[in-house]
Every structure is written in structure tokens, then in C-alpha cells.
Structure 1
Amino acid sequence: MRSLSTRRRTQFLCAACCALFACVSVAEEPRDSPPLRFGMSTALTGPVSELGIQMRRGVLSAFAEANLAGGVQGRQLELVALDDGYEPSETGPNIHRLIELEQVLAIVGDVGTPTAIVAAPIAQRAKVPFIGALTGAGVLRKSPPDRYVINFRASYAEETSMMVDALVAAGIEPDEIAFITQRDGYGDAGFAGGTAALKRHGIERPGTIAHGRYERNTMAVEGALADLILHRPTPKAVILVGAYSPCAKLIRLAKESDFDPLFLNVSFVGGNLLAAALDDQGDGVLVSQVVPHVQEDLAINRQHRAALALLEPTKSPPTQISLEGYVVGRLLILALQRIEGEIRRETIADACEGLGDFDLGLGVPLRLTSDEHQASHAVWATRIEAGEVRPIPWSELLPQERQP
């Protein structure tokens, strides 16, 4: 009897241990991890909405690619995109909402200089990484850099400087180069870069440079155009720092007025959008780019097309802006993959600065460190021909019929 009682006690203890082990095992099974949430305040409506839509499209394609491969640390990537209509007054509340209510880990791919001027300081104060904004403004490129502001693209100063240098090398006199800019921080940034380049080429007084301006989010370009038509000497090249709709209207009006200089646009205009807006009036118009042409045989282009196919069954073609969004998304994901342990806002900032020299398949070197918060300094040239935006070398900026 004593032996049976001992055996039963042993069986009971074994059963109890098994039950306890089963409970512990169930408790320790991994639950579905919450997504890694990122935010974007961008223009999804209004006169530059296509830029915001394409930038969001590019970032989402990079996220779709990563999510299909299992995400980062087993967590899916999610983007919360809010519309600001390219109006700074809407941007501030959006950024506060993303940081405080949506609890995003970083702000990524915001569109526009006037909006970034509002958004970046909010993110900086909240210690939230502000990554890959679609702007080349100098306010985001301080020296030493702001800890939480991480740029991918070349600056507007680099774009306009490249244009001025190429024009002068092609035989255009510095005082024959003019500007039409949007009346805000975006236009001012582009004009400042062009002015600095013209000073290097002998223009001593910026006040002598032909310069027209128009109001943001309007099509009121007639006054700016008139300022250039009346200027002497007559400009042979006009650098436009604006949005695609007003720039297209200005170019059309200029041709109707028999004013036919070479028109050059910075990347923010969106080359394919400008070409579509100009229709049959676009031939010869130039656009600088901060990513390679989407048809170049490069790894980044092949990967972007494949990522878009995951995102969109209709397989809409890539654009320069969607490619930039994709590159920004890939940059962020690369930084996330370098993080060991918990992914937090602070560790994302550390990881971006720790990327050092890296390669995303663009064919140019990229670098981010604690002292360098702009990954790329490359600027490419493209020209609109027969409704298509085509890559050209900077040495061929002027077609044969415009050679001095």
C-alpha cells in the first residue's frame, strides 16, 4: 500500500510538472509583433500632389519589398501618410499628430522646402529622425548637422551650381543666365546656390542677375516672365526653381511671346510631370536629377521595378520621384537592419550615422556619418525630347542649334 501510494504521488507530481511546463510553453510562444510605424506629411492634394503621391509610392514599394522578406526583426513596416497640401500651416499639426498620437519611429520622405522648414525643427526637438525629405534646401543641411535630420539627395545649391557651370562651359555668358523662382524657402534655396555659382564666374553684384518670382501654390507667373523679357541683356538661359504646373505655364507663355531661352529646371519639378504638362512644347527643356534615370541599366532600377510590381498589380511605370522615394525607403531599411536590440527613435538615428560608406546600386558612392548627413552629392542631367525625359551628359547641355 505504501508503495502504491508513493507511485501515485510520483505520477501526480509528474502530471503537475507537465501541466506547468505546458503553461510556461504557451506563455512563451511569440505573439504577433506590432508593426514598425513611420510617418509622412506630404502633398496628396493640390498643385504639387503628384510629387507627394509618387514619393509615397516609392517609400511604400521599399516597405512592400522588405515586408515580403519578413520585415525587420520579424516586424512589418507601416507608413502613415497625412496630407498637407504643400502648405506649411497644415504640416505642423500633421507632424505633431504623427509623433505624439501615431507614435511613429521616424518621419520619412516629406515633400517640399516650405513644409520641411516647419517639420524638421519639430522632429528635431522631439528627437525623432527626419529622414530623406524631398527637398534640397540648405536649412536641412547645417554644419555641423542637426542630429535627427538625415538627407539622401543633393542640395538645390549643388543642382543650380551644376547648371551654371555647365552653361558657362558651353559658352553662355554669366550675365545671360536668369532665374525664375517660387517665392518661399524652396525658391530662395535654389537662387542662393545659383548666385554663389555666378559669383565664381565673375558676377560681382547679385542685384544685377535677372530674377523673377511667383507665389507658391499659384499659377500667377506672368509678372515673373515679364521681368525677364524686359531685362537687358536678354537671358539666353533661365533656371526655374518651381513646381511643374506653374513652370509649364511659364514656358508656354514664353514661347507664345517669342521669348525662347534655354529653360532648365531643378529636380523638384518632376521631369515626367513637367513633360506631360508641356505636351508638344517640351522639346529641349532640361531637368536636373538627384537619382539616375529610371531606364538606366542599374541594380536600383531593376529592384525598384520589382518592388513596384509587389505594390501595384497594374504595373504603372516608375518615375524619378518614385525612385527617390524607393531609395529613401531602402536607406531607412538598411539602417534598421543594422540595429541590434530594440528599434527606437534613438537607435535609428545612431544606425543612420553608423552607415558610413554604403551602396544601394545607384552607381555612385553614398555616405552617412555623424559629420555627414547627406548621403549623395550626385546630380544628373536630363532633357525632354518628344515627350520623354532622356538622360544626357552635362557636356551636351546645349543642343547644336543653340551653340554660341
Structure 2
Amino acid sequence: MRRLSIISFKKILLNATLLVGALVSSLSQAELTFGIVAPSSGGAAPLGLGMQKGIESYFAEVNAAGGINGHSLKLVAMDDQYQPLQAARHTRQLIEDDLLAAIGNVGTPTATVTIPLHNEYKTLLYGAFTGAGGLRKAPPDRYVINYRASYLQETAAMVDGLLEAGILPEEIAFFTQNDSFGDAGYNGATQALASHGFGNIAALAHGRFTRGTRNIHQGLALILQAPVTPRAIIIVSTYGPAADFIREAQVDLPDTLFLNVSFVGSQALLDELGEQAEGVIITQVVPPLDADLPAVEAYRQALETHAAGSEPDFISLEGYLAAKLFVEGVKAAGADPDREAIVNGLLGLGSIDIGLEEPLTLGRNDHQASDAVWSTIITNGRFELVEWASLLP
């Protein structure tokens, strides 16, 4: 009997040890869940899918290395089709499902309706794929933190470059989406022109089109009727309408420069235009894809490892870099981070280099990590840096 009791006790002890081990293992492998509300169908799908790919590639890299304090990272994707009402509905659903933060959401009109939800429910919106001023208030919203440079900075780079190239302010026109996205880009460019002393903004041709359509003809007609023939047109659009506009405008304006903000989707625009993309300018908020930088090299390797068959592009690179900085904030949030701890972790990072050889900065009064803008021009199917001074004959 005594021997059976000892054997039974050993079995109980072994089972208890296994159970405790399983519980510890389960806890150590608990997931930290984040969400992305972005288009994965419809005309803006390449933007949402690109951001998702970049974020998931970095999350996969972190998970393969053991996660964060034993926690794996999970991204839940919701398709809003670039429609504000759907974005609001999906955001509310994710918040109610206790996600820790939203990361990489796409678009200005969608951000406009979801920011109030993030503020109301004290849930972070981080690294949204938009440069609009509504995400960059002064003082900043606690629950809105940006990775990328603003549209104000992108369009200022365009205006500065065009003036350096010898184009006069009155020779600049605009073609923009008729909503808060288009307004953000247009207002940024006109502020830049005003900073150079140009005051007759109302005289500049400004064609518009409706979001979700490719009805570019009325806007194009307005620009073609301008009293001063534009030598440069700043476009604030997704890639589809932008491609249609450029393709048709080139017929009547063969010597005009066409400039786009990063949200256009560089590779998608190039694919749509083909040979007609030659000479089109796009501002970028991440480094060139072939940059000799540790973070960019790691991005290219992550795509090979975790997104087989994917070619590098500026959108997924932005998602990857935004996720890389985000993870530093999650690490700083402690062993078992909650929503507030992650916000505090990010805003407490201060100055940090994630492999770009230039520091990114976040703080209580600075909710935008990067101010960098790279101006690129499509040359022989490649994105090259623009040399403004020698751009025109």
C-alpha cells in the first residue's frame, strides 16, 4: 500500500508539474492583438494590402524571434473599402473586441470619422497611412500617433522643388479628390506657395473629382481652360483617377510635369500608366527601396522570408518601418501591456534610430515620428531621386 501511495503521489506531482508548465507556456505565448482598418478590396485596395503586408512581415519577424516578453503579435484586418461609414463600423467593432491599438489604417476621410472613436474609447490609432492635418493637431490628440511626414511637408517639398526648377507659382495647377484628403494636399501646397510670397492662390486652376469614381473629365477641362497654361500639376488622388488624369492630360499638355503625394500608391500608378509614367514625380515618406540602410535591408529580407513572391514597394516599406517603431513602443510598455501602457511606451521613446541612420522622435508634444520626404521621378520604369535644378531643359 505504501509503495502504491508513493507511486500515486509521484504521478499526481508529475501531472501537476505538467499542468503548471502548460499554463506557463500558454501564458508566455499569449497574443497581443492589434487591428488594421483599411481597404483590401475596391480601388484603394493596393494601399491597404500594402500596409498590411509590411506590418505582418515585421510582426512575423518578431514572432519568429520569440515575440515580445514571450507574447506573440497578431494583426486583425478589417476591409473598409475606403468608405468612412464602414471604417467607423469596423473600428467600433475592434475596439469592443478589446484590441490593444489600431495600426496602419489607410486614408484621410476614414480617419476623420474614426479619430473621435479612438479618442472616446481611449484606444490608440497609430501609423495611419495619411499625411492629413486632422491627425496632427496642436496640441496633439493623445490617442493619435503618426509615423510618416505630413501632406504639408510633402507638398512643401514639391513647391520648393518646382520653384528651384524654374517654374513660376502662377504656372502651377491642382487636381484633387473632392474631400478631406484632397483638401489636405491642396491646403498644404497653397500654404507652401504663400510662404514664398505668392498671394494670388485663387487664380490657380483647381480641378476636382469625386472619391470612389474615375470621373476626371470635368476637372481636366477646368485646368485646360486656365488663362495660364500649367507647367506643373499637383495631384492629390489614389492611383486610378490619377492615372486616368495623367494619361488624358498628356495629350494637351505634353510638356507639363505631373506630381503626386505618396498616398497615390507609387507602384500601382506605374503599373497603370506603363510607358506613360515616364517623368511622373511622386513624393515618398520612406527611403528609396534600394537604400543602403539597415532597416531597408531588413525589410527586403523580411519580404523574402515572410511574404514570398512579393516585390518591394513604398507602401509595404512604410508598413514595415511603422511596425518596427511601434514594436519599440510595445517593448517599452512593460511585460503585460495594456492600451494606456502602449501609448505611454511610444510617447516615452524620445529619439530612436530603428536602422534608418537618422533618429525618429516621439514625445508628449510630438506625435509624428518622421519628418523626412524623398522626391522621386519615374525613369525607365524605376523610381529615381529628383534633381530639381536640372529637371527642365
> For residue 34 of structure 1, what is the amino acid of its counterpart?
A
Corresponding position of 2:93:
97
Do the aligned partners of 1:108 and 1:131 also contact (CA within 8 Å) in 2?
yes
Q: Quick one: which amino acid aligns to residue 351 of structure 2?
A: D
SS across alignment from 1:217? coil
Residue equivalent to 1:182: 177
Tell me the residue number matched to 1:360.
Answer: 354
Aligned counterparts of 2:247 and 2:308: Cα–Cα separation in 1: 36
1:148-227 counterparts in 2 under 5 A?
A: 148-227=143-222
Aligned-pair Cα RMSD in Å: 1.9
Match of 2:314 in 1: 320
Matches within 5 A, 1:365-384: 365-384=359-378
The separation in 1 between residues aligned to 2:185 and 2:360, in whole angstroms, is 23
Matched, 1:337 2:331: yes
How far apart are 1:178 and its partner, in Å? 1.2
C-alpha distance in structure 2 between counterparts of 1:400 and 1:144, whole Å: 41
SS across alignment from 2:186: helix
Counterpart code for 1:178: A
Given candidates 231, 243, 265, the residue that maps to 2:238 is: 243
Contact 1:254 1:260 in 2 (8 A): no
Q: Give the aligned length.
A: 389
**Matched residue type, 1:184:** D
Shift of 1:23: 6.2
- Stretches of structure 1 that go unaligned for 5 or more consecutive residues are 1-7
Contact 1:381/1:391 (CA < 8 Å) preserved in 2?
A: yes
Residues 37, 105 of structure 1: 8 Å contact kept: yes
User: In 2, are the aligned partners of 1:174 and 1:201 still within 8 Å (CA)?
Assistant: no
| C-alpha deviation, 1:12, in angstroms | 10
Look up the equivalent residue of 1:282 and give its one-letter code. A
Structure 2 CA distance for aligned equivalents of residues 279 and 133 of structure 1: 29
The residue number in structure 2 matching 1:113 is 108
Q: Please name the residue that 1:52 is paired with.
A: 48
Q: Are 1:399 and 2:375 matched, yes or no?
A: no
TM-score of the superposed pair, with normalisation by structure 1: 0.91
Q: How far is 1:323 from its partner?
A: 0.1
Structure 2 residue aligned with 1:301: 296
C-alpha change, 1:259 and 1:231, in structure 2 (3 Å) is: farther
Match of 1:390, SS state, is strand
Distance 1:231 1:132 in 2: 38
Residues 177 and 211, structure 2, Cα contact 8 Å, conserved in 1: yes
Q: Which moved more, 1:189-198 or 1:116-125?
A: 116-125
Q: Does 1:81 align with 2:73?
A: no
User: TM-score, normalization: structure 2?
Assistant: 0.94
TM-superposed CA distance for 1:270, in Å, is 1.5
Can you list the C-alpha shifts for 1:153-211, whole angstroms capped at 9, x where unaligned?
A: 00001100111111112211111111111011111001111111111222224322221
Asked if structure 1 preserves the Cα contact closer than 8 Å seen for 2:69 and 2:335, the reply is no
Q: Is residue 265 from structure 1 mapped to residue 257 from structure 2 by the alignment?
A: no
Which of 9, 13, 28 is matched with 2:20 structurally? Answer: 28
Letter in 1 for 2:251: E
**Equivalent position amino acid for 1:338 in 2:** A
Q: Deviations over 1:58-110 (max 9, x none)?
A: 00001010010011111111111010111101101110111113x21100000
How far 1:262 sits from its partner (Å)? 0.7
Aligned mate of 1:310, from 290, 305, 313: 305
How many angstroms does 1:400 deviate by?
A: 3.8
Name which of 346, 350, 353 aligns with 2:344.
350
Instruction: Supply the distance in 2 between the matched residues of 1:183 and 1:326 (Cα, whole angstroms).
Output: 30
Q: Structure 1, residues 267-318: CA drift from partner, whole Å, max 9, x if none?
A: 001211111111111111100000001111111111001111221233x211
- Whole-Å separation in 2 of the counterparts to 1:122 and 1:137: 18
Local SS of the residue matching 2:149: coil
Question: Aligned equivalents of 1:348 and 1:321: distance in 2?
Answer: 24
- Tell me, in whole angstroms, the C-alpha distance in 1 between the residues paired with 2:238 and 2:153: 18
Q: In the alignment, is residue 146 of structure 1 matched against residue 138 of structure 2?
A: no
**Are the equivalent residues in 2 in contact too, given 1:291–1:362 (CA < 8 A)?**
no
C-alpha separation in 2, matches of 1:313 and 1:378: 29
Distance in 2, matches of 1:168 and 1:306, equals 39
SS in 2 for 1:31: helix
Could you tell me the percent identity over the aligned residues?
42
- The equivalent residue for 1:137 is 132
Task: Specify the structure having the higher radius of gyration (Cα).
Answer: 1
Deviation at 1:17, TM superposition (A): 8.0
* 8 Å CA contact retained: 2:146, 2:368: yes
1:64 aligned to 2:60?
Answer: yes
Task: Give the Cα–Cα distance (whole angstroms) in 2 for the partners of residues 170 and 281 of structure 1.
Answer: 22
Which segments of 5 or more consecutive residues in structure 2 lack a partner in the other structure? none
